[in-house]
């Protein structure tokens, strides 16, 4: 068994970059502990949770028994359900007391993303701090959202505690804040629990790739600044030494081993467990049971006698050619964490620059590092990032310089206090996102978005702003106003590209994302299936088995979208201009 499961504490946190296998590691750990006779609660804090798919069980926002594993219950913190329950909790005591207009005003205050964040956060802190909620469990395991979202979640107990200590008053949070004061003690207990290594074990999860190892190294430092100290490292999905001369298998194995040998020093100091790549996806109890074994499932070889044959797949260059028929527009790469949105966005941006287009490449992902993916500067390409901290600083300075200029000293002090609310980040990031959207009137703007759940919260803020603006306009005025949401709904202006992997869970989650977008009147333009082994045509038994499993998912994507592209697995990490250029030509760089 992995080292991180030795002498297990009450709480486990698994965190890391999207797509590294946090859910698989968390689920396999929960199964192991339950089979040791422990009572275990497995909790997902990821807005795009896929625990239900792993166990093939409907879970949702309630503690649900996993019937095939006695002693194991699971819970997916659903932001929408949590927000609705939070609103009802605040409104129920006053519905029969206050006038209808006041109830309507409070309801409006409770309609934004700030409420969603606080509601999800309250459920999270309840599980950490209120022992009566989890009294029947020996262990509580948190399968967290991708790193940027998780850092934000772990900052919140301290942020809200400080904010409550220093006073409150942000107008955008008046409704949500009314439910915070009573939870002050809960937040303090949550902070204590998170910073106590005897009760909480925080496990960083990575793949044997430079990008994910750099990500967890940054996470290690960011958590330490919160006095939360990671205790273990898991490197997941390591390709075993090749027993064949398959070029792809040998290249991947050599690349991964070199990456592990050059692991950041800070990570080398942590106890490290290495989990080998398996021939099957980690869906179902049988697959989870094999995850921590060095060897693959014993029946793998028998399935490798069938020759791998796949039809030619459309490449990314075809999509770029269609985009390049215009001279401007907004292109957004969206999807689950770890599917390669940053890589796809960067490849599209470079390909458009090659076609003579003016291009801005930017990101809304707090954990994204476009410059790392691009390598050196690319002539003709502008690169930026919507940095939450910088956005908040600029927003506060702007409000103080404009609105604050008309106030006396007392008023300015009150305004400055209002702007210290953690909810200010929502407004600040939305404003910078809106500016990026508007720039696409005169050039191409390629946006690498944050993982699905975080992006949907941004879309919610966009919708809230649209409703607030248009509510007060008559029909004639509406004809002369264009909000960011209207830009996103315009298929001639915005092209949404859904990025996924040829695996069951990422495709299922991408389908759910498109459903959410359609409800908002936003229609995906194309799908990109990234990192396809089938498109790379491996001959090694393990990789060929995984490649054969992709056919069903590739067919499912083709059935959902008339416009798609498939990017083959690369022999080299797709970092730098040359490697990114190869992606749009449908080949593996270096082959």
Residue 567 tokens read as: 């990017």
Q: Which one, of 149, 95, 204, lies nearest residue 456 by Cα?
A: 149
115, 421, 504, 505: the active-site residue: 505
| 116 part of the active site | no
Asked whether the beta carbons of 257 and 240 are under 8 A apart, the reply is no
The CA distance from 140 to 124, in Å, is 11
- 21 tagged catalytic: yes
Q: Which of 17, 18, 46, 278 is catalytic?
A: 46
Tell me which of 16, 21, 112, 404 is the catalytic residue: 21
Question: Widest CA span of the chain, in angstroms?
Answer: 80
Determine how many CB atoms are found less than 10 A away from the CB of residue 387. 15
From the list 438, 487, 481, 482, the residue with the least C-alpha distance to 459 is 487
The answer to whether 211 is a known catalytic residue is no
Residue 276's Cβ-side half-sphere holds a number of Cα atoms within 13 Å equal to: 15
Indicate which residue of 18, 19, 112, 175 is catalytic. 19
Set 16, 17, 18, 24: catalytic member: 24
434 flagged as catalytic:
no
The yes-or-no answer on residue 259 being catalytic is no
Q: Are strands 72-76 and 64-65 parallel, antiparallel or unpaired?
A: antiparallel
Query: What is the helix, strand, coil percentage profile of the chain, to 5?
Result: 50, 15, 35
Cβ-Cβ contacts under 8 Å for 442 (sequence gap 6 or more):
328, 358
Q: Is 23 a catalytic residue?
A: yes
Catalytic pick from 15, 18, 23, 148?
A: 23
Task: For 312, list phi and psi in degrees, rounded to 5.
Answer: -60, 140
DSSP bridge pairs for 72: 40
DSSP 482-508: --HHHHHH-TTTEEEEEEE-SSHHHHH
Identify whether 338 is a catalytic site residue: no
Q: What residues contact 91, with CB distance under 8 A and at least 6 apart?
A: 103, 106, 107, 110
Structure tokens at 506: 């990422």
Which residues make Cβ contacts (< 8 Å) with residue 159, sequence separation at least 6?
A: 422
Catalytic residues: 19, 21-24, 46, 505
């Amino acid at each position: 068994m992995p080292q991180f499961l030795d002498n297990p504490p009450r709480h486990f946190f698994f965190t890391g970059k999207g797509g590294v296998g946090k859910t698989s590691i968390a689920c396999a750990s929960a199964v192991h502990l339950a089979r040791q006779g422990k009572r275990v609660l497995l909790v997902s804090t990821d807005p795009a949770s896929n625990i239900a798919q792993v166990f093939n069980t409907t879970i949702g926002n309630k503690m649900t028994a996993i019937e095939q594993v006695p002693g194991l219950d699971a819970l997916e913190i659903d932001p929408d359900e949590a927000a609705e329950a939070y609103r009802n909790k605040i409104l129920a005591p006053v519905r029969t007391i206050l006038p209808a207009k006041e109830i309507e005003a409070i309801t409006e205050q409770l309609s934004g993303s700030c409420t969603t964040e606080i509601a999800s956060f309250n459920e999270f802190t309840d599980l950490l701090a209120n022992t009566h909620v989890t009294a029947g469990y020996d262990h509580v395991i948190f399968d967290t959202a991708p790193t940027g979202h998780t850092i934000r979640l772990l900052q919140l107990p301290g942020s809200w505690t400080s904010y409550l200590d220093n006073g409150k008053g942000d107008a955008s949070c008046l409704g949500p804040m009314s439910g915070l004061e009573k939870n002050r003690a809960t937040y303090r207990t949550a902070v204590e629990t998170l910073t106590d290594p005897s009760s909480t074990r925080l496990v960083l999860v990575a793949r044997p790739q430079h990008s994910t190892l750099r990500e967890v190294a940054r996470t290690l430092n960011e958590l330490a600044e919160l006095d939360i100290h990671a205790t273990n490292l898991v490197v997941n999905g390591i390709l075993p030494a090749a027993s064949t001369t398959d070029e792809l298998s040998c290249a991947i194995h050599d690349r991964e081993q070199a990456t592990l040998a050059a692991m950041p020093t800070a990570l080398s100091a942590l106890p490290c467990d290495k989990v080998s790549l398996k021939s099957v996806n980690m869906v179902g109890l049988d697959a989870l049971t094999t995850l921590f074994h060095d060897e693959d499932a014993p029946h793998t070889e028998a399935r490798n006698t069938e020759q791998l044959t796949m039809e030619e797949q459309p490449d990314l260059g075809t999509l770029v050619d269609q985009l390049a028929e215009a001279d401007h527009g907004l292109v957004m790469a969206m999807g689950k964490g770890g599917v390669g949105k940053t890589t796809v966005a960067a490849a599209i941006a470079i390909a458009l620059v090659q076609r003579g287009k003016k291009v801005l490449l930017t990101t809304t992902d707090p954990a994204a590092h476009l410059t790392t993916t691009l390598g050196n500067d690319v002539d003709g390409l502008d690169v930026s990032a919507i940095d939450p901290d910088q956005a908040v600083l600029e927003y506060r300075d702007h409000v103080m310089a404009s609105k604050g200029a008309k106030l006396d000293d007392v008023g300015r002090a009150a305004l400055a206090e209002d702007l210290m609310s953690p909810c200010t980040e929502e407004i600040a990031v939305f404003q910078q996102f809106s500016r990026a959207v508007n720039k696409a009137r005169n050039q191409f703007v390629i946006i690498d978005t944050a993982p699905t759940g975080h992006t949907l919260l941004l879309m919610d803020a966009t919708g809230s702003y649209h409703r607030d603006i248009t509510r007060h306009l008559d029909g004639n005025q509406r004809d002369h106003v264009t909000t960011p949401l209207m830009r996103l709904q315009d298929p001639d202006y915005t092209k949404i590209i859904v990025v996924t992997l040829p695996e069951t869970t990422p495709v299922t989650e991408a389908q759910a994302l498109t459903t959410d977008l359609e409800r908002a009147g936003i229609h995906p333009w194309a799908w990109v299936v990234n990192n396809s082994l089938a498109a790379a045509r491996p001959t090694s038994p393990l990789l060929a088995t995984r490649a054969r499993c992709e056919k069903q998912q590739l067919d499912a994507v083709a059935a959902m979208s008339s416009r798609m592209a498939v990017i083959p697995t690369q022999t080299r990490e797709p970092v730098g201009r040359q490697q990114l250029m190869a992606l749009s030509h449908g080949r593996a760089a270096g082959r």
